[in-house]
Structure 1
Amino acid sequence: MSERIRPPWWLKPLNKVLIASMRLGLPTFGREMPMVLTVVGRKSGKPRSTPITPMIVDGQRYVVGGFPGADWVRNARANPVATLTRNRRDERVHMTEMSVEEARPLLRQFPVLVPTGVEFMKNAGLVSSDDAPEEYEALAGRCAVFRFDPLE
């Protein structure tokens, strides 16, 4: 997966504001449950954080990398132990990347379970529709899908 799509210029500053808000425990709106994902940088060895919106499928939590080649995805592949933070509560998790076959049915559910992510994918040119499950399923192998497994 060497494809890389550059995120919009405003995403990093917006992410910083969202991370600060979430770490302060400010309420989030909508039915989705955004969190802060912190992984160790593959080159720097320093913690790197990004806001994410996990989706729950059959009792398991998953996250979709909205941009092929995103830094947090490459960091998670290098060091799959991460921290999820929500409402000032931290949880250590192991991130397991799903195979293309495992990712397809999860990606089909993405537009319904994470509607805020749909706009990002449309803006990146990855999909053209809000609710065409086939378009999202076709992203398997381009956009990483990880499962979060709690660490004891």
Structure 2
Amino acid sequence: MPDPTPPRWLKPMNKVFMGLMKLGLFGGDGPVVLTVPGRTSGKPRSTPITPMVVDGVRYVVSGFPGADWERNARAADTATLTTGKRSETVRMVELSADDARPLLRQFPTLVSTGVSFMKRSGLVTDGTPGEFEALAGRCAVFRFDPA
């Protein structure tokens, strides 16, 4: 099965969502804005993401294989995570498929909003831990390390 492509409404909706985040409508362990330099232009590119925390370490799962932010993150040395008015520079380390499997199994429990998104995209059917584990090597998983 070919990888799904993001719907056309996603980029405009992400801009609206990031505007709401700047107003402080979300906080705590919810969504953050990830900003990485564009791999070609070098210009900052931002997208909302929802990290998950496992054993005190933050991770993010790409909702679409080959997403722009994912490819930009691979090419960048550092990235910025912003919550409200607070920003933090991090390094993003992509995990191997083997290292990603146990984290992907936890994704449905830790990022429930991501489950419905990935169901709608066709990446999973039921949203079970086994379905998410099977995405290892297909959907990138990154660890956030201090820069």
TM-score, length-normalised on structure 1? Answer: 0.91
Q: In structure 2, how many angstroms separate the alpha carbons of the residues matched to 1:75 and 1:33? A: 22
Distance 1:47 1:100 in 2: 28
In the alignment, is residue 61 of structure 1 matched against residue 58 of structure 2? Answer: yes
Which residue type is aligned with residue 18 of structure 2? I
Q: Percent identity?
A: 66
Partner Cα distance (2:131, 2:109) in 1: 13
Cα deviation code 1:2-45 (max 9, x no counterpart): x75311121111100111111232x228x851000000000111
Deviation at 1:150, TM superposition (A): 1.4
Name the residue aligned to 2:84. 87
Unaligned runs of 5+ in 1: none
User: Partner of 2:20 in structure 1?
Assistant: 21
List, as ranges, runs of 4+ consecutive aligned residues in structure 1 with deviation greater than 4 Å: none
Q: Is the 8 A contact 1:80 1:96 kept in 2?
A: no
- Does the CA contact (< 8 Å) of 1:4 and 1:70 recur in 2? no
Question: For residue 74 of structure 1, what is the aligned residue in structure 2?
Answer: 71
Is 2:140 the partner of 1:144? yes
Ranges in structure 2 where 5+ consecutive residues have no aligned partner: none
Q: Distance in 2 between matches of 1:32 and 1:58?
A: 14
* 1:28 counterpart SS class: coil
Q: Please give the alpha-carbon distance, in whole angstroms, between the structure 1 residues aligned to 2:26 and 2:6.
A: 23
Please, what is the CA RMSD of the aligned residues? 1.4
1:32–1:114 Cα contact (<8 Å) kept? no
Question: What is the rounded CA distance, in whole Å, between the counterparts of 2:32 and 2:86 in structure 1?
Answer: 10
Count of equivalent residues = 146
Give the Å deviation of 1:50: 0.2
